Structure 1
Amino acid sequence: MANPWPPTRFWQYWALAGMLVLTAAFWWSVTGYAQFESGGTRSQIADGLLRFSLLILTPALLLVWLAAAWLRRRVGDAGYWQMLGLVAMIWAGSVLVTRILAG
């Protein structure tokens, strides 16, 4: 079976989303790790949220983006975008709250 060219809209949007997801994950990994290595944060809540976002949420965001083909077959196009959006919003919220609490 020949690959259709140009790629479907799903894969075009997936590639665009990937630019945002990969850039954001890399940025937070570097920034968060530097903050963690410089002594963490002043608050235990911010420190726990920093660790959780670096160790759990950032890999979860990348895995949902990478598993697009597998998830698309199981939940459909709309379900995949809802799932990616949900994980991205949870991740962005945790990053925002961590940055606010860390000062």
Structure 2
Amino acid sequence: MAGPPWPPSRFWQYWALAGMVVLTAAFWWGVEGYAIFEARRHGQIAEGILRFTLLVLTPALVFAWLAAGWLRRRVGDGGYWQLLGLVAMIWAGAVLVTRMLAG
């Protein structure tokens, strides 16, 4: 009975490393964002961006990381990393703006 090839391809090795960063960032922002939300010391704009990052962008980031196998077949290796990088940059920018506004 032959299993999957070992070691995994370079793509999946990088995917695993990216997962450590993505999952740690999502968990951190879930905890930090909730703490900011509970403090209620911010304006409507900061609260709107905060809710958007917590409810839309963070799950989108995790989903983009999880959907690697499906996306890789459709857009290729380079396209997948560009897509994940784009989602990560949008997420990081929104988190930065939220931290600045709610800080």
TM-score for both structures, normalised by structure 1: 0.95
Query: 3-state SS of the aligned residue for 2:6?
Result: coil
The percent of aligned pairs where both chains have the same amino acid is 75
Equivalent position amino acid for 2:66 in 1 = L
List structure 1 segments (4+ residues) > 3 angstroms apart after TM superposition: none
Cα offset, 1:42, TM superposition: 1.9
Equivalent position amino acid for 2:12 in 1 = W
- Which residue number in structure 1 is paired with residue 69 of structure 2? 69
Query: 3-state SS of the aligned residue for 2:3?
Result: coil
2: CA distance, partners of 1:69 / 1:37: 37
- Which residue number in structure 2 is paired with residue 17 of structure 1? 18
Gaps of 5+ in 2: none
TM-score for both structures, normalised by structure 2: 0.95
**How many residue pairs get matched?**
102
Gaps of 5+ in 1: none
- Which residue number in structure 1 is paired with residue 36 of structure 2? 35
